[in-house]
Chains A and B, each alone.
Chain A
């Protein structure tokens, strides 16, 4: 973070997966959630990961975000290979270099919006860059809500607080797991618009897991997963193209089952 990001073109790899395999259960109950995924996620890009339920999209994100450990293969975030890191190092990595937005329960209920936003920085014992903080707050439009607790805010506002929290520590990469899953369409548009702007204006890298084609249409690149493998990819997607690919994927699944 030496230069002020200017946004725009990809500038290299932010995170990558090399032949990632994740197996749950043993013997007959074995499920291969990831079955050899190799993919690079580019800096300054908004990537969406899509796929039917059980395709492994969430697992891929969790492995890349240092929340889960793969059975084999390597996950690299910001040049650091996660495989060899202990819990403490992983905790610090999450705190300093990764931002999170979850589907629900993103905020600590006992803290105000501002305290929630600053939580990762507080935990790291760092001071927020006031200019950057103001920029983020204004971008999510939360200034009048800073002193409120989560229970006093709408779902959309809560998710915007979560987005602000993810951005304020200037992480290398932000992972969003179905960030609009619980929101109405207006709130969804606000949150997605904000994520889009963070990429365009701040040069932030964002990776979002979603099954909503509308949400995915905000991204630069869509990765399609099925049965634990990357099966397709779209650049500069529009909604119709995404729907078409999703349809093809479920047809293939149906044929396989039939």
Chain B
């Protein structure tokens, strides 16, 4: 039997390739995603572990690796560093000046690395990481040892177009906005690349000049343990000599904190990508199932002969399953290689977005390899099991019958009933989500959606009939006999047509559901912008990072500017919860009139206003006193004076800007809201404001339309990324159509011969196959779009707090339908050409 299985595989090379392709792509996607996620993780792990010293002295309340709007201004004095260095547990204590909010400009004056990854500016000092290796490695030139010198990481220097000796421009958050330095060398983190971040090293006094207004002090201190001293002992010893408001943490703690912060972000990317891999594999499973069904039905006579010769049912089943196993093995192996390539492709996409992943961490790990084989083999075997059983059920007498066409049974009534029940269960789950069952609403709806998609996929032969009958009518009208034949062909084997279309359906269901959400998001944003954008202009950086207060100062001087309101942000601990707080000035109330539920919007001194939901979370109300701990250790008791309705205008905790200043936080504006003076020309003011930030590519001045457009772009960017990933599922589905058509053509060889004999020209034969393909594609698209639309609407409903407007992307849906038709045509090319090349006589003679 084994030999027969092998011969079967070899004898049907083309079919083998086509069916294996589905496995290869599905597994390729999975392996690619796993490899990429792993590479992403190790990139950050390498950087974190390679750049963390044994222990770190920092201000209390600070957490590593978090983006904060404004850093602390509480500093470590050199005397403290000296005291630390004298401790017997300490081998070395290096004062560090960490500068945030700086940007590197390239030679062309544009931002290096865009606004995605941060620019880290440090003073250079010779320090070692937890593994005892130097944190930084010099790649060329030398370290900066004089003011005015700079050392950049290799990739940023390259991206900026800088050579050693060039003048490098930095945009700085405090003091002089633009400063130039001489590039004296390039370096890298010991852990490899910088993941797209820009690393700039300055000489210590220069760094203190730039970031600390020239104070001889440091923001943190890196400690290296003496021989035989553990991290904990080191940190404990350091604590004994630290002044109030400072603490020492072990390197491990820093690594754990960083991992946690980054892990959340990496997990999101990981889950997101895995979701698409699952879609790809489910689609692939449909194709594999279908391919095996067709292969088996074509081998009816062979199976019957085997049975007649004494093979048991089990042997026939096993023969098919072994064939599936070998295909899965081959497909998974190739899939792993495809995955490796795909992960590089993904890395390139992310690199273009400023997240740099080195090629050498994109390797196949044992986990990935095992996962690929386990998933590939089990999915293939499961998909092949039903057809294998069907093969075994062929009665031996079928071998003797001349009539080989096995009419596949129509769907049993039982399946119809079960399908209907499943659809109802899915609807009930969605309903439960909509009326607010316990737990996350979208989870209920998601579960219902999965049931719907699978049920519709299984019931496609029944549900799709009206679509196929309609296509037959349209085809017959447009293309006469050829069209009618094509329509009949699509209808003759509903199960096969349905299963093929299902693969496409799944992809398009997700596409249209996502489309509904994206379109609703855009519409909601439009409405929100319309409602909440109350100033004439907003000045922000696209990445919502802070920018120097100088910008606001200059803008206030521009002719025609009436009111300028600043907002500054910071992370703070409010009742032990990390919360983003917004500091606003007095002008804020002139521009924005918040919808006050209780109390007043007017704040003076140590007061705060809360959004309704934040007030609920914090169990606070007007009159409550909230202790807010700022980075640097200062805790301020704020009196709540007002509760406002939730709004995207400001944070849940909003307080006077003076509170941030008093807490010793470095001032850095996050948003400026500007109103023009009465009678001023809005366009002229816009131009003048643009001029202020001409040299500051990180900051943009936007009016309502511009802002709306920007948000739309961001939504679209995400949408295109999702569509790009879903494209793979659609490609697998198209391969499924190619497969089904190709196998159908082989199966109908004699019929094709007959049609050719009685006068069907090659061209019309090709057209007939193409129309059948279009019918399948349209069926998949229509079912997918319909299901996706319903799911999208339900999901939107459950998210109606955030997505207040429902918008159906009807234009896009029509485009998807057209694309499906185009894919249908493309899928038919190979089978159609193959069919038209068949010699009439050979076709007739084929048994």
Contacts and interface: CB of A to CB of B under 8 A. Distances in A.
Interface in A68-126: 68, 87-88, 91-92, 94-96, 100, 102, 104-111, 115, 119-120, 122-125
A120 B480 contact: no
Interface residues of B, number: 27
A254 B480 CA distance: 54
A109 B751 contact: yes
B755 interface: yes
Contact of B480 (A62, A104, A109, A122): A122
Given A110-B488, A111-B488, A119-B481, A95 B754 contact: no
B481 A110 contact: no
A62 B751 contact: no
A26 B760 CA distance: 31
B750 A105 contact: yes
A62 B839 CA distance: 12
Q: Is the interface of B mostly helix, strand, loop or mixed?
A: helix
Contacts of B755: 108, 119
B26 to A, nearest CB: 33
B761 interface: yes
Nearest to B482: A123
Contacts of B762: 87-88, 91
Given A67-B844, A110-B488, A110-B489, A91 B760 contact: yes
A237 to B, nearest CB: 28
B756 interface: yes
Interface in B459-506: 480-482, 484-485, 488-489, 491-492
Contacts of B761: 87-88, 91-92
Nearest to B488: A110
A37 to B, nearest CB: 17
Given A105-B750, A105-B751, A122 B489 contact: no
A91 to B, nearest CB: 5
Given A108-B485, A110-B485, A165 B758 contact: yes
A110 B480 contact: no
A182 B402 contact: yes
Given A110-B485, A110-B489, A94 B751 contact: no
Interface in B210-240: none
B758 A95 contact: yes
A185 interface: no
Interface in B370-405: 402, 405
A11 interface: no
Contacts of A91: 756, 759-762
Contacts of A67: 757, 840-841, 844
B759 A123 contact: yes
Given A67-B757, A108-B754, A123 B402 contact: no
Contacts of B759: 91-92, 94-96, 120, 123-124
Given A108-B485, A109-B405, A119 B480 contact: no
Contacts of A119: 481, 755, 758
B407 interface: yes
A151 interface: yes
B764 interface: yes
B758 A94 contact: yes
B407 A151 contact: yes
Given A91-B761, A96-B759, A100-B758, A123 B488 contact: no
Contacts of A115: 484
A258 to B, nearest CB: 31
B58 to A, nearest CB: 78
Nearest to A87: B762
Contacts of A94: 757-759
A123 B767 CA distance: 13
B668 to A, nearest CB: 73
A162 B761 CA distance: 20
Interface string A150-169: 01000000000000010000
Interface residues of A, number: 30
A91 B405 CA distance: 27
A181 to B, nearest CB: 10
Contacts of A62: 841
A82 B255 CA distance: 84
Contacts of B402: 104, 182
B492 A110 contact: yes
Nearest to A151: B407
Contacts of B485: 108, 110-111
Interface string B401-416: 0100101000000000
A104 B845 CA distance: 10
A96 B759 CA distance: 8
Contacts of B750: 105
A123 B764 contact: yes
**Among A102, A106, A122, A123: residue with most chain B CB under 10 A:** A123
Nearest to B756: A91
B473 to A, nearest CB: 15
Contacts of B480: 122, 125
A107 B750 CA distance: 10
A203 to B, nearest CB: 22
Contact of B481 (A96, A102, A123): A123
Interface string B747-790: 00011001111111110100000000000000000000000000
A237 B311 CA distance: 50
Contacts of B491: 110
Given A62-B841, A67-B841, A88-B761, A105 B488 contact: no
Nearest to A111: B488
B776 to A, nearest CB: 15
A125 to B, nearest CB: 7
B465 to A, nearest CB: 15
B764 A105 contact: no
A217 to B, nearest CB: 26
Nearest to A110: B488
Interface string B613-654: 000000000000000000000000000000000000000000
A115 B758 CA distance: 13
A110 B480 CA distance: 15
Nearest to B844: A102
Contact of B754 (A88, A106, A124): A106
Nearest to B762: A87
A123 B483 CA distance: 11
A136 to B, nearest CB: 15
A107 B489 CA distance: 14
B751 A108 contact: yes
Contacts of B840: 67
Contacts of A104: 402
Contacts of A95: 758-759
A227 B482 CA distance: 41
Interface string B806-847: 000000000000000000000000000000000011001000
A51 B756 CA distance: 27
Interface in A30-89: 62, 67-68, 87-88
A102 B761 CA distance: 19
B531 to A, nearest CB: 59
A105 B757 CA distance: 12
A99 B764 CA distance: 20
Contacts of B407: 151
Interface string A118-150: 011011110000000000000000000000000
16 contacts: A67-B757, A67-B840, A67-B844, A68-B841, A100-B758, A102-B844, A104-B402, A105-B750, A106-B754, A119-B481, A120-B758, A120-B759, A122-B480, A122-B481, A124-B759, A182-B402
Given A88-B761, A100-B757, A102-B844, 17 more contacts: A62-B841, A67-B840, A92-B761, A96-B759, A100-B758, A105-B751, A105-B844, A108-B754, A110-B485, A110-B488, A110-B489, A110-B491, A110-B492, A123-B481, A123-B482, A123-B760, A165-B758
Interface of A: 62, 67-68, 87-88, 91-92, 94-96, 100, 102, 104-111, 115, 119-120, 122-125, 151, 165, 182
Nearest first, the 8 closest Cβ-Cβ pairs linking A and B are: A95-B759, A110-B488, A122-B481, A91-B761, A105-B750, A123-B759, A67-B841, A120-B758
